[in-house]
Structure 1
Amino acid sequence: MHEPAVHRDWVEDDFGVTALGSSYHNDWSRYTNDPIEHALTYLGPTGDPAFPVLLIEDLQRLVSSPLSDEELGRLWGVLGGALGGSPTFAGVERVWFHRLLAAVTRLAVARGAREAQWVELPACTPEPPGTVAAEHQRLMPEVLAMTGLLDRARAGESGPALATRQAIERCVTLVCPELGFRFLLHALGRFGCGLTAPEYTRLEELSSAFGHGPFVVDAHRCLLG
């Protein structure tokens, strides 16, 4: 999410791939025939194209990244509920993201989006200084430090939590710290990692620095000890 001024009204709550992934509740398959149909139903056929464009940006960054299918699967996996039910794509996660990207792109165009909004997606790099991407890169060490919270995973899940932490750290360093931060928030909930008040406050401060609205972190307030 490299244009916070443009998308301010759409980032009050979770957005992009993290919002979509967490929408696959246990009973999603009762109402749609496949994961793509669910995604299109979730987004809706009409309305402001800003939300689909934010999803397109996330998906483009993920599919063009050096992350492996296993790492993409780890990231996607933390977005579903602890009881399961979210679709899985063992070994073909990048294929899934490509299919989803194509479907969402068609929807965004039908809703009036311009392809120029994502054809020349700005890279998440520290240069030139003063850009949103440079600010994201400046925050990278702090996001990486917060991934240590995943070491508090509930009993019996330390292995999956460690593998997920490694995937998130790779996302933060190789894709985008802001996108990795959103995956981290979901992973903390997925693995039941309790937070102290100062830790929660720091998450809020990082979220605000990324240009998020107040409810991106507030949705995880239940983790406060």
Structure 2
Amino acid sequence: MVLKRLPGKKGTIMARQREQYGRFYEEDFGLSGLGGKLCSGKRPRPTPPAVLELAAEAVRDEEDHQLGRDVRLLLESPVPDEVISVVWPAVTGGNFDPGDHGIGARDWLRMVAEVSRVDVPDKTEAQQPGLPEGELRACVLAEIRSAEPALRSTLPLPRVVSTLRQIVDEADADLGFRLFLRVLKAYAVPVDQGQYDRLLSIGDRLAYPLAAVFEGLAVRWRPLDAGRRDFGTRFGLPFLAAMFHGGWDAWRYEGSGTPREHVGRLAHGDRGLGPGTQAAVLLQDVRRLAGSALSDDAVTALWRTAAHRWNAAEAFDADGRAWLREIAEVCTARLADVAPAYVPALPTLRSDLTEAVLREVRDIGPALDRSVTHHCRSAATEGIASVLEETVRSVDPDLGFRFLLHLLASYDVAVSETQYARYQEIGARFGFHEEYVAEQVSANTAHANDRAD
């Protein structure tokens, strides 16, 4: 464990130098990940040799070096044996308990440590700044307290709550957090969306892969809200256009699929979100654009320019409004399946931001038109900035602003520092996720040649 001294109110705070787990793992990992593999009720109750083989496979085949670290954290901690003995049945949903086989808590940890002993590669280049252990510990303990009533009413193991607290306090808050998540999943403990959002935030600070937090949680989702904009950076019609970039085979997954199936990938792409969220937001964008006063030619030009399909021979989106109807059909089918009570409704237009977005389109429009013309030299794309301006004015300033950011990014239009700052301000007023604007245009920011307002 690498420790780093950080300034604090009372001198210093000791903090772990934590790795960016998301760079090495795609799902749950370490001791909690192993617990998840033992949770399945579809297989016979595992024996100690079978569990040790799973642990060895995780290290050998999946390169899960965190498993060995986690085991050693518990093994070397002052946490009593009787507390550690609660961990295994808790994280496996009661499917495995070494005590049932006459194996003591620390004896079992030593056995797992033996099979997870590996030469860990140097990953210092992937480490993020130290996260204060005290701050993390307080956050995790607060979430355990919040879930305590549900845990006590759901779990048949009376000491789980105190065990989790003791591991967080005396072993490691990071490990305690992952074990807490695994217990919630193993016993399908209901989690309201407010707590779920906080759990995601903690996982984000620890650089977990998203699936390590959300996958398997029994979340009580709020009703779908197609107007919500703070849930991520990839959604709606501009993002669908980004998915169609390149040649026909370039956006196919595994070399197969129709355009409708490709739309379905976004409509079903609710990883970590309430079921139907992506379909609801995409359907809202489509209904706005299809029902607007924008001409058919303008609708088609906007989509095809955004999707880099200016001269594409395939006819599926040659008529923009017909294509929008196909997208809507896919979204409606998805919503009927996962949220049958949902009734699509267009939220109030943010007309208070129309002029602000129009100013930005007009400001960078000439540069955008030049870049698009340079890329394709098609008459159909001449004056795309004017189409974008009309989209903001007569369709939706929110949708128009998202198309603007997408077009600037996909056509490599340089953005000045002052423009970027204004985009961030507009995005915040729309309620976008704090990383939305940065993910779209930060790589194209012209730092050296900032233009005056």
TM-score by length of 1: 0.80
1:79-158, aligned counterparts within 5 Å? 79-80=306-307, 89=316, 91-116=318-343, 118=344, 120-122=345-347, 124=348, 133=349, 136-148=350-362, 149-152=364-367, 153-154=370-371, 156-157=373-374
Give yes or no for contact 1:73–1:89 (8 Å, CA) kept in 2.
no
Measure, in 2, the Cα distance between the counterparts of 1:166 and 1:99.
Answer: 26
> In the alignment, which of 280, 284, 287 is matched to residue 53 of structure 1?
280
Task: State the 1:69 CA deviation.
Answer: 2.0
- Runs of 4+ in structure 1 displaced over 6 angstroms? 3-6, 82-88, 158-161
Instruction: Say whether 1:20 aligns with 2:234.
Output: no
Question: Mean Cα displacement is larger for which, 41-50 or 172-181?
Answer: 41-50
Change (3 A) 1:146 1:160: farther
| Pairing 1:169–2:389 present | yes
Task: Give the secondary structure class of the aligned counterpart of 1:105.
Answer: helix
- Is 1:14–1:215's contact at 8 Å kept on the other side of the alignment? no
- Give 1 or 2: higher strand fraction: 2
| C-alpha spacing 1:142/1:87, structure 2 compared with 1 (3 Å) | farther
Write the letter of the residue equivalent to 1:68: S
Compare relative contact order (CA 8 Å, sep 6+) and give the higher one, 1 or 2. Answer: 1
CA distance in 2 between counterparts of 1:205 and 1:75 reads 25
Structure 1 residue 166: Cα displacement? 1.1
- Give aligned-pair identity as a percent: 24
Match 1:201 to one of 397, 412, 421? 421
| Matched-pair contact (CA < 8 Å) for 1:150–1:188 | no
Classify 1:205/1:113 alpha carbon distance in 2 versus 1 (closer, same or farther; 3 Å).
farther
1:44 is displaced (CA, Å) by: 2.7
Aligned counterparts of 1:53 and 1:84: Cα–Cα separation in 2: 30
| 8 Å Cα contact 1:150/1:193 also seen in 2 | no
Deviation of 1:45 after TM superposition, in Å, equals: 7.7
> How many angstroms apart in 1 are the aligned matches of 2:308 and 2:393?
26
CA contact (8 A) 1:24 1:87 kept: no
- Structure 1 gaps of 5+ residues are 125-132
1:63 to 274, 279, 290: 290
Measure how far apart 1:7 and its partner are. 2.7
> Could you say which structure has the larger radius of gyration?
2
Counterpart AA for 2:341: R
Cα 1:155–1:60 shift into 2, 3 Å: closer
Structure 1 vs Structure 2 CA RMSD: 3.0
